[in-house]
Amino acid sequence: MSENIPALTSFTEDEQAFREAIRSFAEGEIKPIVGKMDEQAHYQEGLVQQLFEMGLMGIEVPEEFGGAGASFTMACIAVDEISRVDGAVGVMVDVQNTLVANAFLKHCTPAQKEKYLPQLATKKVGAYALSESSSGSDAFALKLRAEEKDDHYVLNGHKLWITNAGEAELFLCFANVNPDAGYKGITAFLVEKGFEGFNVGKKEDKLGIRASSTCELTFENCIVPKENVIGEVGKGYKIAIETLNEGRIGIGAQMIGVAAGAYEATLEYIKTREQFGKALSSNQGVQFQLAEMRMELEAARLMVYNAARLKDEGKDFIEEAAMAKLYSSLAAEKITSMAVDLFGGNGFTKEYPVEKFWRDAKIGQIYEGTSNMQRQTIAKMELAK
């Protein structure tokens, strides 16, 4: 087993082998270009194609549709290991698998699966378009409207902060077909990049995960065929809730990967960096900080994979997903901040990796449900017991 790969007793031999393969790919193909991608704020040409060739863009998609036919836990392992090197690449794999593919697998018709799953697994990036300027944490205050006309719907409005939008060709979009019905009018649509009236807008200039595209979407009399309705009309809110519950575990995997990358860089640094004639690691105060980082990482890791296991076993996992997402994002920010501290002045420069890990960690407390939304979910479920 490769050095520093976590040996949780719940990992099977196949999962450990998969983790080692992803780590080798991330170290060999992604790590050398992380700094350049972060500086230029886009993925290097050819990298996305490599992700498809590695089978990382359709991990749970059945083999009959060109996917790997693996588990949700496997998807989390991939996100974890890639994020250990670059959280920006990790989130692309995460959104593709834990949000878009998951929604398709659960809610698409057989004809829709036959048409779109092979594309999603082998060549086309997907994006999940829920957020708008006035509907972030209040996810169902949607203003994107869908008007029924003959054999199609006409969509008008905007989406904001859509991850993968710059590379995506398939967009799972949520719009309201009946505003008077409130959230019960929300419907999910599959919008292709080339649909008339649909455009991808500007890419946001972000603090962290800079290579990952986060863009605005505009719908100006966008024509969407009725056969591209995902699930039932007016039941899109259920699709959104179910998908986000799963996606939060994926973000947890991203956060533990980011935290692990920072921790491992710090461990190596304090062993070799000398101050006052001895290694930093010989200082008891530094050892205490290291121990705290390691403990936080392990606790977050166990929570994330526990939630993933529950999901794979078909058991209730909503509260565990909320706790995993909340705790892992807090732990990632704490661990990466401590890493910068322990690197001292070097940690504040781009010559060393920890400042990027710190920047990448912050988003974990914001997207796919803010930390306060996770606290609210946990509290509600506890009070209902």
Instruction: List residues with catalytic annotation.
Output: 368
Burial of 385 (C-beta count, 10 Å sphere; 0-12/13-18/19+): exposed
Burial of 300 (C-beta count, 10 Å sphere; 0-12/13-18/19+): buried
| Alpha carbon distances (Å) from 38 to 23, 166, 206, 336, 360 | 20, 15, 10, 17, 10
Which position has the token pair 């001895």?
Answer: 278
Which two structure tokens, joined as six digits, stand for 107? 């809610």
**In contact, 262 and 336? CB cutoff 8 Å:** yes
Burial of 105 (C-beta count, 10 Å sphere; 0-12/13-18/19+): middle
Residue 27, phi then psi, degrees to nearest 5 = -65, -40
33 Cβ partners below 8 Å, 6+ apart? 44, 47
